[in-house]
Amino acid sequence: MVHSASEQTPGPTPGSGHGLLRGRTAVVTAAAGAGIGGSTARRLLDEGARVLISDAHEKRLKETHARLAADFGPDAVTAAPCDVTVDDQVTAMFDAARTRFGRVDIAVNNAGLGGTADLVDMTDDQWNRVLDVTLTGTMRCTRAALRLMSANGGGVIVNNASVVGWRAQAGQSHYAAAKAGVMALTRCAALEAAPHGVRINAVAPSLAMHPHLVKVTSDELLAELATREAFGRSAEPWEIANVIVFLASDYSSYMTGEVVSVSSQRA
């Protein structure tokens, strides 16, 4: 049976935290709202981390910060606006986290931009915008985090890639190229970071349902994509966040340069 975006097959419910990240501090980009970034910030807080959330959408960022502060306390979470296409803003974001919390132990580079266009119709502006946010923005944030973490003697960076970096999908040349680039960036940067005690990994979700995705993708396409999943449903954002928490924690202490598929797609 095929389910529409509004009629998802019920999945599991989120679990409670276990203190996996107690005493650590994290930065999460594109964390405003109900997507993967917002869910990741919440899961990091569940696990005892102190978190700076960031987003280019200042109104949504303020609202998300207020909700998280109400749930976890104002000392546990702070916010700083950031457009990841502007390097000065990226630097200011990490400086804000260091000023507030003293150090940065974890960086989750979640910011990305999609869209649908056949390559024959795609403009240079469409291509460049997706690459600048999704790939170059991830590079800027990885570079800034690595500079801080290397000076601190260690840390963890988790990048958000996508299964379309491996698997072809029509209309996604720019996004797929960007996410494949995130995977390659993750692998190469991890080798450079290892001598400094910094681990860098990535997650590659297949389909995670959230309100922003519904706004830019048709119900028909989302339903068709859901049929490719073994569970007959998309992932909940917190299910992706759980894997990000694993990669940020000591449970993945021997993993670096890896891209972990968070998917139930059949082979």
Supply the residues annotated as catalytic. 175
Look up residue 183 and give its amino acid: M
Distance in angstroms (rounded) separating the CA atoms of residues 23 and 259: 26
Distance in angstroms (rounded) separating the CA atoms of residues 48 and 65: 16
- 183 HSE (CA, 13 A, CB side): 20
- Judge whether 21 and 48 are in contact, CB under 8 Å: yes
Strands in 50-55's sheet, in edge-to-edge order, are 77-81, 50-55, 25-28, 106-109, 155-160, 198-205, 259-262
**SS percent in the chain: helix, strand, coil, step 5:** 50, 15, 35
Tokens for 106, please give them.
């974890």
- Judge whether 158 and 108 are in contact, CB under 8 Å: yes
Residue located via tokens 């132990």: 105
Distance in angstroms (rounded) separating the CA atoms of residues 126 and 174: 8
Can you tell me whether residue 119 is helix, strand or coil? helix
